[in-house]
Structure 1
């Protein structure tokens, strides 16, 4: 069986709904619904097709998104999202992709310039042609964060009181069960304290058989016991303060503008980052001109802590396209194998979740290369005959979402 033909026949996206969209777009531009006593085309569609109101609105929204039409006075109207409409007409993306893009752009802060909207639509549509809808949604969150760099204006409530709460109740046997929510700054401190203490404590004689949830429960219990032994005005943990890794430009941090990344995961305003930096040690990294972490050369197979931190700041998690595993769940992979002379240096390393590290990369036709200081993946020919390089859009950082050429198909 030839894989490309099989993929096309089996998984090809249905283009027949474009005919329905064109008909609805034509009706939307006329006064047909009003003349027949209906409030709008969605209500008329609901009646004709005997579908529920939500489905009718979705179909009309799809028509407006993807198809050019005329207004009631005959004025030509472009599709709301022309790039999306073209991809839908080609059968390159499906309804879930379209909805992910539309929902993202509905969350854009106001005002957003027309060039920024068009550029964002192009980026999202390109991603939709390559990845599943949840990846497009995640990329959309990153774009919204970049467009809204200073965050939403804080309300008086947020200025006077951070969003933190803890609610518990007694259960049988004297246990406590509850829920909590922490603001970003406190969450960074808590995870920085708990995660190192929740690691397995195994030895050759006695392996750690606790589950992940049990270890995460034991860690705060140990911290509380330590705090109970300390004076009220003394430190609650020995040693240095929690180290928080922040990715942000020096100018943004200095002036309180723009946004940064906490532990390489979530975007936060520079103002929040500055508050965090007051109470913690911030692990710095030297950035190159394209936002890449500059190389730290080492000649060891095991990854020194300094290089591991640089990998976390550069890759922010598993770099395999479309995957969201966090750095703590990943292993460092030598692009050129260490046994083949590959150095343990940043230009030859990337973070991978163990499944991708040991299965896909070592035992399939996927290949990795570092280009412009960032890892990119060459897919097998049965997935992409031209083997266009891919990057993980969920973790892309630096100057912007269009750094490099991986998504545009350029190869060397």
Structure 2
């Protein structure tokens, strides 16, 4: 009998979940959620991590399964079977990995999460699941059965299958899988069939995972097509590239009035690309209007409408801020109270005001045409900073302009 046939005929081994995992799964499966779509962000982030681990290993050791195989992430949908599958060609997992990383949650945060879920009054924010380090299990928000097929990159590794229906146990068995990497198949619940729709999944990828390092294919078609420009050195980016990136993230049809490209290191580290639009949006003065900054962690989307990164009088600024100093699954409440966010806000505010000062002094007498265009569009809102941002009052006084009947 061949080795492959031997593997295929071995009986699955059953493992019992620990008590806290049983509680966790029960709560995940039987709770109502907002932000259910984050399960896909979690699975794609895990796939990206697996590809990064493979890349790091192959810097010093190319003796791996399928060394020349393309490094990519694939999402496949089957509406007939009501399944969603996420595959990667990354490092793969061993038997012990499946037990330690999938079958067990070592984080002490698990019990905190269970407590948090029990105390929820009404629908639960799906972001909580990833926040407590159990992101893989967010898939049980939309699936009643999950299977993992994997093979580690080691040449002498064996194919494995992990399976669970979210009950009290899971199984692991050997398979005759040849390819390196991991394939996760979700059997969607009857009320979550929209996650087997191409338009829905493409929308989620674009929102949460558009800028991950690796190509993502949805049913064979590239789904993430825009590069994370803020991670490229300034000298390698053309103004035309920045204009197109701005149009992509803002849905504006015109190029911006100007931009800032920042790479900050020190007490806090982050990268950012900020833009000032040519025209003020119609809802600029509405209290519920969207703020223009998107927050990322390691190129993975955390939240948009991020009011904590700039003061209100600069809410017209559009752009992206990416920091590794925040956990991937930080909640909205945590961003509001985070000292990291406060430091980023202070730096960004100073940089934006510095850019505006350069515009204002671009021509003699402080009558730059670009600054005049800016102030014509945003001056009314900008002036409110005088009564709200006392730390920058001196800079603001230099930048405020008033109508005058005096001829120049």
TM-score tier (shorter): under 0.3
User: Where is the strand percentage greater, Structure 1 or Structure 2?
Assistant: 2
User: Where is the helix percentage greater, Structure 1 or Structure 2?
Assistant: 1
TM-score normalised by L of structure 2: 0.24
